[in-house]
């Protein structure tokens, strides 16, 4: 007879005790899930069945007979004969303390109402938090597509895991240490944020570019908006030229800045080149500004 593989063994049912009752679980199913199947709710915040368990919030701790410290039920798996208690005084005190500390940090505001911490706090009949709040990170408005009230963030890292492991898109991260720790986007690096912003602007069609240039040359009522659209749709071009001149002693951010100056001067002098395509003329101005900055490095 073939020997069962570890994978097959992990799916074989086992029996363990949950709050004194014998239940059937599996070695590859976390205690929190077996408990849920048997009608026992364990508080949890950082756990989501769709994501890899991280065990960082400790709201789900349970007592395991014979073990000195409480174990997180979201990333602890049962073994045959294990005895687990989810609702003893010790576990409830610990679960409530986690919730109370998080509630203390989360001042009541419109955007913090009806959150998951409140839901669990009510279920565990927790009163008002007793502790002073930590200084919360400021709201992150660094990108047009992202606006996050970081004072409502409990740093459960569910967004980080969803972004990294499900979307395979490392935009969201967790950075810094201790009380400075916070969720960050694009590694909190302004150049990454800037690059994403300019890359998101679609290029102009030739017809649209001609139409916008006409408004600028006529200096009519739409000239200002047309000029802005011409500039914004060429910011990615500036970056691509700046990157080509990188590594020659001038920081890429400085080269981008000089290139953007060249782009603006192209717009201001467009009337001197009425028969040229704006993007061609602007590219020449941008390259000249960047080449000059690169040549005059200190
Ligand atoms: S922003 Fe991310 S880390 Fe913060 S509470 Fe929401 S999911 Fe959790
Ligand atoms: S839910 Fe288990 S540690 Fe957060």
Question: What is the atom index within ligand 1 of the atom nearest the CA of 148?
Answer: 1
Residues with CB under 6 A from ligand 1: 153-159, 183
Out of 7-21, 47-61, 138-152, 233-247, the most confident range is: 47-61
For the chain, the domain total comes to: 1
Helical segments of 59-88, H only: none
Q: For residue range 180-232, list pLDDT tens digits in order.
A: 888 888 777 777 778 878 888 888 999 999 999 999 999 999 999 999 999 99
Q: Report the relative pairing of strands 71-72 and 83-85 from DSSP bridges.
A: unpaired
Return the SS3 of 45: coil
Residue 254, Cβ neighbours under 10 Å: how many? 14
Within a domain: 119: no
Residue 147 is predicted with a pLDDT of 78
* Ligand 2 probe mutation, 56, 124, 154, 157, most atoms within 8 A of CB: 56
Measure the CA–CA gap between 65 and 75, rounded to whole angstroms. Answer: 17
Q: What is the DSSP track for 97-144?
A: HHHHHHHHHS---GGGTT-HHHHHHHHTT--S--SPPPPPPPPEEEET
Could you tell me the sign of the dihedral formed by the alpha carbons of 115, 119, 120, 126, in that order?
Answer: positive
Q: Which two tokens stand for residue 68?
A: 């000195």
Within a domain: 59: no
CA of 155 to the centre of ligand 1 (A): 5
pLDDT category of residue 91 using cuts at 50, 70 and 90: very high
pLDDT category of residue 113 using cuts at 50, 70 and 90: confident
User: Which of the 8 DSSP states describes residue 203?
Assistant: P
Within a domain: 30: no
CA of 2 to the centre of ligand 1 (A): 46
Q: Which two tokens stand for residue 259?
A: 């290139």
* Ligand 1 probe mutation, 112, 138, 158, most atoms within 8 A of CB: 158
Q: Which residue is closest in CA terms to ligand 1's atom 5?
A: 153
Contact 17, 66 (CB under 8 A): no
CA of 45 to the centre of ligand 2 (A): 6
What element of type H or E holds 279? helix 278-295
Within a domain: 244: yes
Query: For tokens 């049912």, what's the residue?
Result: 13
What element of type H or E holds 157? none
Residue 104 is predicted with a pLDDT of 92
Q: State the ligand closest to the CA atom of 94.
A: 2
Here the CATH number for the domain that contains residue 249 is 1.20.120.1810
Q: Which two tokens stand for residue 183?
A: 């969720």
Q: Which of 6-15, 16-25, 99-108 has the lowest mean pLDDT?
A: 6-15
CA of 210 to the centre of ligand 2 (A): 57
Within a domain: 200: yes
Which residues pair with residue 23 across a beta bridge? 16
Q: Give the burial string for 20-52 (b: 16+ CB within 10 Å, else e).
A: eeebebbeebbbbbbbbeeebebbbbbbeeebe
Residue predicted with more confidence, 22 or 243: 22
Q: Which residue is closest in CA terms to ligand 1's atom 1?
A: 153
Residues with CB under 6 A from ligand 2: 44-47, 55-60, 72, 74
Q: What is the pTM of this model?
A: 0.67
Residue 297 is predicted with a pLDDT of 62
Helical segments of 187-222, H only: 190-199, 206-218
Q: State the ligand closest to the CA atom of 74.
A: 2
CA of 69 to the centre of ligand 2 (A): 15
- The answer on pLDDT for 166 being more than 80 is yes
pLDDT category of residue 1 using cuts at 50, 70 and 90: very low
Within a domain: 232: yes
Contact 40, 19 (CB under 8 A): yes
pLDDT category of residue 298 using cuts at 50, 70 and 90: low
pLDDT category of residue 6 using cuts at 50, 70 and 90: confident
Within a domain: 209: yes
Gap between the terminal Cα atoms of the chain: 77
Q: Kindly state the average pLDDT of the residues 94-98.
A: 97
pLDDT category of residue 77 using cuts at 50, 70 and 90: very high
Query: For tokens 């001197």, what's the residue?
Result: 272
Q: State the ligand closest to the CA atom of 154.
A: 1
pLDDT category of residue 28 using cuts at 50, 70 and 90: very high
Contact 285, 295 (CB under 8 A): no
Within a domain: 287: yes
- Provide CB contacts within 8 A for 219, sequence distance 6+: none
For residue 255, give its domain range.
194-297
Q: Which residue is closest in CA terms to ligand 2's atom 3?
A: 55
């Amino acid at each position: 007879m073939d020997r069962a593989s570890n994978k097959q063994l992990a799916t074989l049912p086992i029996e363990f005790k949950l709050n004194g009752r014998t239940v059937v679980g599996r070695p590859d199913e976390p205690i929190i899930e077996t408990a849920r199947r048997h009608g026992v709710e364990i508080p949890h915040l950082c756990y989501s069945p769709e994501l890899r368990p991280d065990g960082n919030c400790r709201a789900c701790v349970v007592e395991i007979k014979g073990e000195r410290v409480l174990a997180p039920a979201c990333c602890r798996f049962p073994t045959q004969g294990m005895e687990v208690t989810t609702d003893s005084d010790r576990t409830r005190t610990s679960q409530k303390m986690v919730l109370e500390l998080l509630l203390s940090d989360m001042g009541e505001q419109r955007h913090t109402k009806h959150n998951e911490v409140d839901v669990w706090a009510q279920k565990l009949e927790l009163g008002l938090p007793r502790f002073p709040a930590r200084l919360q990170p400021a709201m992150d408005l660094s990108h047009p597509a992202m606006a996050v009230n970081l004072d409502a963030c409990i740093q459960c890292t569910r967004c980080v895991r969803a972004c990294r492991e499900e979307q395979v898109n490392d935009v969201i991260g967790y950075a810094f240490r201790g009380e400075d720790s916070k969720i960050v986007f694009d590694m909190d690096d302004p150049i990454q944020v800037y690059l994403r912003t300019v890359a998101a602007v679609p290029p102009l069609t030739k017809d649209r570019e001609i139409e916008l240039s006409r408004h600028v040359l006529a200096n009519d009522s739409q000239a200002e908006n047309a000029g802005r659209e011409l500039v914004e749709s060429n910011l990615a071009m500036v970056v691509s030229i700046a990157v080509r001149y990188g590594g020659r002693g001038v920081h890429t951010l400085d080269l981008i800045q000089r290139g953007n100056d060249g782009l603006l001067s192209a717009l201001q002098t467009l009337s001197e080149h009425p028969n040229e395509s704006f993007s061609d003329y602007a590219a020449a101005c941008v390259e000249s500004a960047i080449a000059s900055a690169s040549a005059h490095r200190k």
